[in-house]
Amino acid sequence: MILVENLKVTFKTPSTDIEALGGVSFRVEAGEICAVIGPSGCGKSTLLYVLAGLLAGFEGKAVVNGEPVKRGRRKTALILQDYGLLPWRNVFENAALGLELRGLPRSEQVAKVAPILDELGLREMQRLYPAQLSGGQRQRVAIARVLALNPDLLLMDEPFSSLDALTRETLQDNVLEIWRRTGCTVVLVTHSIEEATFLGRQVVVLSPRPGQVVATCKNAGAGETSWRRDPQFHKVCSFLREQLAGGTG
Partner 1 sequence: MMRRWISTIIAVLVLLVFWMILAAVIDKPALPQPFKAFAVFFRELPGLLWRHLLVSTYRVLAGIALAVLTAVPFGLYMGRNAGADRFAAPLVYLVYPIPKIVLLPVIMVLLGLGDSAKIFLITLVLFFQVLIPVRDSSRHVPRALVDSVTSLGAGKWAIYRHVIWPSVLPEVLTALRVASGTAIAVLFFAETIACQEGLGYYLMDAWTRYAYEEMFAGIIAMGLLGFAIYTVLEFLEHRLCAWKYV
How far, in Å, CA of 3 to CA of 26, rounded? 6
Residue 91 binds to partner 1 (criterion: CB under 8 A):
no
Beta-ladder partners of 8: 22, 59
- The 139-178 contact track toward partner 1, x by CB under 8 A, reads ---x--xx--x-----------------------------
Q: How far is the CB of 132 from partner 1 (least distance, A)?
A: 5
Residue 49 binds to partner 1 (criterion: CB under 8 A):
yes
Q: How far is the CB of 77 from partner 1 (least distance, A)?
A: 7
Residue 236 binds to partner 1 (criterion: CB under 8 A):
no
- Pair 36, 25: CB distance under 8 Å: no
Residue burial 153-175, b: 16+ Cβ < 10 Å; e: rest: bbbbbbbbeebeeebbbebbebb
The correct pick among 4, 64, 78, 116 for binding partner 1 (CB under 8 A) is: 78
The correct pick among 67, 124, 131, 249 for binding partner 1 (CB under 8 A) is: 131
Burial class (CB in 10 A: 0-12, 13-18, 19+), 85: buried
Q: How far is the CB of 190 from partner 1 (least distance, A)?
A: 17
- Kindly tell me the sign of the dihedral angle through the C-alpha atoms of 194, 200, 202, 206: negative
Kindly indicate which of the ranges 5-13, 89-97, 109-117, 209-217 contains the residues binding partner 1, using the contact rule CB under 8 A. 89-97
DSSP annotation of 192 reads -
- Pair 35, 202: CB distance under 8 Å: yes
Q: How far is the CB of 130 from partner 1 (least distance, A)?
A: 8
How many chain residues interact with partner 1 (CB under 8 A)? 32
Q: How far is the CB of 43 from partner 1 (least distance, A)?
A: 16
CA-based end-to-end distance of the chain: 33
Q: Which residues of the chain form contacts with partner 1 (CB under 8 A)?
A: 49, 52-54, 71-72, 74, 76-80, 82-84, 86-90, 97-98, 101-102, 128-129, 131-132, 142, 145-146, 149
